[in-house]
Amino acid sequence: MAAYGEDLDFLKAHSIGFLELTDPQGAARICIVPGWQGRAMTSTAAGRAGTSFGWLNRPLIASGAVRPQFNPVGGEERFWLGPEGGPFSLYFAPGAPQEYANWQVPAALDTEPYKIAEQSAQHVRFTHEAVFRNASGTRFEVGIDRRITLLRPEDAGMELPAGVCAVGYRSENRIANRGSEPWTPQSGAPSVWLLGMFPPSPSTTVFLPYDTAAEGKIVNSDYFGTVPADRLSVGEGLVCLRIDGAFRSKIGLPCGRDRGICGSYDSASRTLTLIRYARSRPGTRYVESRWGEQADPFGGDAVNAYNDGPTETGEVMGPFYEIETSSPAAFLQPGGELCHAQEVFHIQGPEQALAAVVRPLLSADLDKIKNLFDC
């Protein structure tokens, strides 16, 4: 992991404009790039010398190139819209086979800058207006409003033991129907999709707590084929994925199974990442992002995790790993809006102290998570 100050110096050296949110009572910092859709690029709990928690695609940023399909510059929280695939995809043109050659990330989610509407030392708000067309030909006029606020853990109701350092923030992401037609199950509907990109390591495990009392499938794990047993663990109340950037795999919890919290633990750097969001409710419709034919375009996952690795051609995009949360499908009348918010915390300290944080929040043992894949 790089130092936070090193990542800031790198961005400056390549003329990437950014702003910082800072904690006047501590060393927490968040680096945000307005030109990349108000993206939270990285953060730290300990000032310039502290760990930089986000993943930056340094080769791509340094090249100055703008790729035609997608510019994976990195960032620990980026704003996207779903679905990615299927009949209502926002990433494929009508009639186009849903394969990589035809995949196109909309400019409003990739290259267009967002306007700063408000800014202070602890928060920033961005706005944007965009038009999208899905694979069924429906046109969406979308108003985007994104606010990021620095959080102290105690302000978020999280009690941390002595001896740890932490950085946290809350993002509130609103989309509004600016058009004259409703967004319906027949036309398709977008959803807010927040994706965090982080540096992988052999000592990192992602954990997705699930509701053991809920009915139905526990986890979807066949996005890129079968995930081997030495990389995926489905225990009592907890799904874990090995994160090393060496095997492309993705998992997700269906609607009604998640518990509104997930995260990762890197035992080598003693870094605990926690993400909190609104828990899904059984029966709520979430967009399905798998490419191609879909049995149910609104039977998607509420939360996902991705481990990067070689594709069929041997290419590796990062490597990085992602933790993703989504809103329900936005079935909005003209003028209506939907908000999806999440809170991100990075906590570092002695393992015993981190275990005390994990136990009440996840009803899980940190040591068990650490040793699942011999990390």
> What is the DSSP annotation of 20-70?
EEE-TTSS-EEEEEGGGTTEEEEEESSSTTSBP-S-B-HHHHHHT---SS-
Q: Name the nearest CA neighbour of 140 among 91, 102, 90, 203.
A: 90
pLDDT at 296: 96
- Residues of the chain with pLDDT > 70, as a percent, come to 99
pLDDT at 194: 98
Lowest mean pLDDT among 84-98, 169-183, 335-349, 359-373: 359-373
What tens digit of pLDDT does each residue of 216-234 get? Answer: 999 999 998 899 999 999 9
Mean pLDDT of 243-268: 96
Average pLDDT, the chain: 95
Q: Name the nearest CA neighbour of 147 among 175, 177, 176, 127.
A: 127
Mean pLDDT of 157-164: 90
Three-state DSSP class for residue 107: helix
Q: pTM score, two decimals?
A: 0.96
Residues 102-139 as b or e (16 or more Cβ within 10 Å = b):
ebbbbebbbbeebeeeeeeebbbbbbbebebebbeebe
For the chain, list the domains and their CATH numbers: 4-371 (2.70.98.10)
Can you tell me the distance from the alpha carbon of 56 to that of 72, in angstroms, rounded to the nearest whole number? 9
pLDDT reading at 330 higher than 80: yes
Under 8 Å between Cβ of 294 and 87: yes
pLDDT at 371: 87
pLDDT at 268: 95
What tens digit of pLDDT does each residue of 174-209 get? Answer: 999 999 999 999 999 999 999 999 999 999 999 999
Can you tell me the distance from the alpha carbon of 83 to that of 138, in angstroms, rounded to the nearest whole number? 13
